[in-house]
Every structure is written in structure tokens, then in C-alpha cells.
A and B are shown apart, each in its own frame.
Chain A
């Protein structure tokens, strides 16, 4: 079946540090890949996505590249802010059929001033 594995958190960084949150997946074929973000007390919001190999999704300074050869979709940001503190979820949908998202367990990011 489909699955997503994320690095465990929390990830604790100082403001302006470089961020990487690792995500690898298991799926048949070419799934679509997503990063969602959940701020405290809120629902999830789509952060970025990529639908085919070598695509790069980007939004709000965050980037992730779809790597088919390593089945990875690592999230990066060059300079984090305190307001980026949240839980980040990597997710996938299968290449065909229903677009039911399969999520990783989430990685909490804590950014201190």
C-alpha cells in the first residue's frame, strides 16, 4: 500500500536558519506529492505540491523537489521565521483512482527568535 515517512520532530531552529524536513514515500507508479502545514489550533493548509518527477513545488519561500529515483520530497527553506513554527505534513495521492491523501505523521517545527 501507499505510505509516507517523515523525520521525527520536533525540529528546533533559530530564526534565519536553513530548514530541511525529510520525506520519503512508498507508492506504485507516480503519485502526486504534497506538503501541508498546520498552525496551532487550526486545520491543515496546502503549502505546495508536485505532480510529476523532477517537478519543484514552491510557496512562501518553501521548496520541495519530486525525486523519483530516491522516492523523496524533502521540504526546504533557506531562512526560517518564528511565524513558520507549525506542524508540517508530507502527503501523497495515488496516480489514479480517488485523490484520498495519505499523510505522514507530521514534523513539528519550532523557530526561536
Chain B
């Protein structure tokens, strides 16, 4: 039973490029969450999605960042025109319901040069 799968594990982009991070939730899970982890900081909530719907995006910057979770396929976190401050580890998590028990992927580490 595969866990939460994220790819790529490592991504290097130059300033101004676009970054796309993918997340396949655990089988049977319809709730997906994205978190960002900056050096020396904890995890910051970005966005919570259910299939085809954004439920809560209160933690996501209003500009350059977007997320989707289509009916078919993985959830995508998209960062346009990346800047050095976007360098971080981005973790995806999924859950079966609304219990707070999240299952995390291994993260995607974005480096912006």
C-alpha cells in the first residue's frame, strides 16, 4: 500500500522560472494538504484541497502560487517566477477524513539559484 508520493524529490530552478511539484495521495484519501518548511522554522500550512476543490488557501501567498487537485491525477503545487525566498522543502500530506491524522510524503526540496 503505497504512501504519499511526491516528485520531484529535488528541484533546482533559476530565478524567474516556474516550479511544479506533484503529490499523489495515499489510496483512498481524498484530502490533500501542502506545507512549506523553511530552514530553522516549522511547517507552515499553505493549502488544503479536496478533489477539484480548494477548501482553505489561507496560508498560500496570493501571488505566484497556485494549487490544484483534479478529478484525475496528482495534486499540483505551482510556483511561478520563483525567487530565492521560495527555496524550501514542500511537503504534501493526505488524509482519509477530517481527523487530523495526516500522512506525509518525503517532501520536494526546491532550490532557487
Contact = CB atoms under 8 A, between A and B. Distances in A.
Q: Name the interface size band of chain A.
A: 20 to 34
Contacts, number: 59
Interface in A87-113: 89, 91, 93, 98-106
Contact of B104 (A34, A45, A104): A45
A45 B31 CA distance: 17
26 contacts: A32-B100, A34-B100, A36-B104, A41-B106, A42-B106, A43-B4, A44-B93, A44-B104, A45-B104, A49-B101, A89-B43, A93-B100, A98-B48, A98-B55, A99-B31, A99-B95, A99-B98, A99-B99, A99-B102, A100-B33, A100-B45, A101-B33, A101-B45, A103-B45, A105-B41, A105-B42
Interface of A: 32, 34, 36, 41-46, 49, 89, 91, 93, 98-106
